[in-house]
Amino acid sequence: MTPVTIERPVAAEARLRPKNQLTLPEAIVDALDARPDDVLVFETDPGQPGTARVHLVRHEFAGSMTGTYGTTESVIAFLREEHAAWGE
Protein backbone atom coordinates (compact mmCIF):
# COMPACT_ATOMS: atom_id res chain seq x y z
CA MET A 1 0.00 0.00 0.00
CA THR A 2 1.45 3.35 -1.01
CA PRO A 3 1.36 6.03 1.71
CA VAL A 4 -0.94 8.96 1.02
CA THR A 5 0.89 12.27 0.79
CA ILE A 6 -1.10 15.11 2.32
CA GLU A 7 0.38 18.55 1.86
CA ARG A 8 -2.10 20.58 3.87
CA PRO A 9 -3.32 20.56 7.45
CA VAL A 10 -6.21 18.18 8.03
CA ALA A 11 -8.97 18.88 10.53
CA ALA A 12 -11.93 16.62 11.26
CA GLU A 13 -14.37 16.06 14.09
CA ALA A 14 -15.12 12.89 16.03
CA ARG A 15 -17.61 12.57 18.87
CA LEU A 16 -16.57 10.74 22.04
CA ARG A 17 -19.16 8.06 22.82
CA PRO A 18 -20.33 6.99 26.30
CA LYS A 19 -17.70 4.25 26.70
CA ASN A 20 -14.83 6.61 25.74
CA GLN A 21 -14.82 5.30 22.18
CA LEU A 22 -14.47 7.27 19.00
CA THR A 23 -14.27 6.55 15.32
CA LEU A 24 -11.44 8.23 13.48
CA PRO A 25 -12.66 10.25 10.52
CA GLU A 26 -11.46 8.91 7.19
CA ALA A 27 -9.55 12.14 6.48
CA ILE A 28 -7.47 11.61 9.65
CA VAL A 29 -6.88 7.92 8.91
CA ASP A 30 -5.68 8.88 5.44
CA ALA A 31 -3.47 11.71 6.75
CA LEU A 32 -1.83 9.32 9.25
CA ASP A 33 -1.71 6.48 6.73
CA ALA A 34 -3.13 4.40 9.59
CA ARG A 35 -4.01 0.75 9.13
CA PRO A 36 -6.00 -1.77 11.16
CA ASP A 37 -4.13 -2.87 14.31
CA ASP A 38 -1.85 0.19 14.31
CA VAL A 39 -1.58 1.81 17.75
CA LEU A 40 -2.35 5.47 18.30
CA VAL A 41 -0.58 7.10 21.24
CA PHE A 42 -2.27 10.20 22.66
CA GLU A 43 -0.06 12.73 24.45
CA THR A 44 -1.27 15.72 26.46
CA ASP A 45 0.66 18.69 27.82
CA PRO A 46 -0.59 20.51 30.95
CA GLY A 47 0.68 23.72 29.33
CA GLN A 48 -1.85 23.26 26.52
CA PRO A 49 -5.15 22.25 28.15
CA GLY A 50 -7.71 20.70 25.84
CA THR A 51 -5.07 19.69 23.29
CA ALA A 52 -3.68 16.25 22.52
CA ARG A 53 -1.11 15.09 19.99
CA VAL A 54 -1.56 11.73 18.32
CA HIS A 55 1.37 9.55 17.34
CA LEU A 56 1.01 6.53 15.08
CA VAL A 57 2.89 3.36 15.98
CA ARG A 58 2.73 0.82 13.18
CA HIS A 59 1.36 -2.55 14.22
CA GLU A 60 4.54 -4.24 13.03
CA PHE A 61 6.61 -1.97 15.34
CA ALA A 62 4.43 -2.29 18.44
CA GLY A 63 6.22 -4.46 20.98
CA SER A 64 9.40 -4.68 18.92
CA MET A 65 11.49 -3.46 21.86
CA THR A 66 9.87 -5.78 24.41
CA GLY A 67 12.46 -7.09 26.82
CA THR A 68 14.99 -4.34 26.11
CA TYR A 69 14.76 -3.09 29.70
CA GLY A 70 14.01 -6.47 31.29
CA THR A 71 10.78 -8.35 31.71
CA THR A 72 7.53 -6.56 32.34
CA GLU A 73 7.61 -7.76 35.95
CA SER A 74 11.16 -6.48 36.56
CA VAL A 75 10.35 -3.09 35.04
CA ILE A 76 7.20 -2.79 37.19
CA ALA A 77 9.15 -3.80 40.31
CA PHE A 78 11.83 -1.19 39.55
CA LEU A 79 9.23 1.54 39.03
CA ARG A 80 7.44 0.62 42.27
CA GLU A 81 10.75 0.81 44.17
CA GLU A 82 11.55 4.18 42.64
CA HIS A 83 8.09 5.51 43.40
CA ALA A 84 8.31 4.30 47.00
CA ALA A 85 11.65 6.09 47.38
CA TRP A 86 10.03 9.41 46.42
CA GLY A 87 7.99 9.34 49.62
CA GLU A 88 11.08 9.05 51.84
For the question of whether the overall pTM of this predicted structure is more than 0.85, the answer is no
Listing DSSP states for 33-87 in one string gives: T--TT-EEEEEE-TTSTT-EEEEEE-TTTTTTTTTTTS-HHHHHHHHHHHHHHHT
Say whether pLDDT at 38 is over 90.
Answer: no
- Average pLDDT of the segment spanning 68-78: 74
- Spell 46-57 as b/e; 16+ CB within 10 A means b: eeeeeeeeeebe
Per the DSSP assignment, residues forming a β-bridge with 53 are 43
Top pLDDT among 6 and 41 is at 41
- Average pLDDT of the segment spanning 66-88: 76
Top pLDDT among 21 and 38 is at 21
| Structural contact between residues 24 and 14, judged by C-beta atoms closer than 8 angstroms | yes
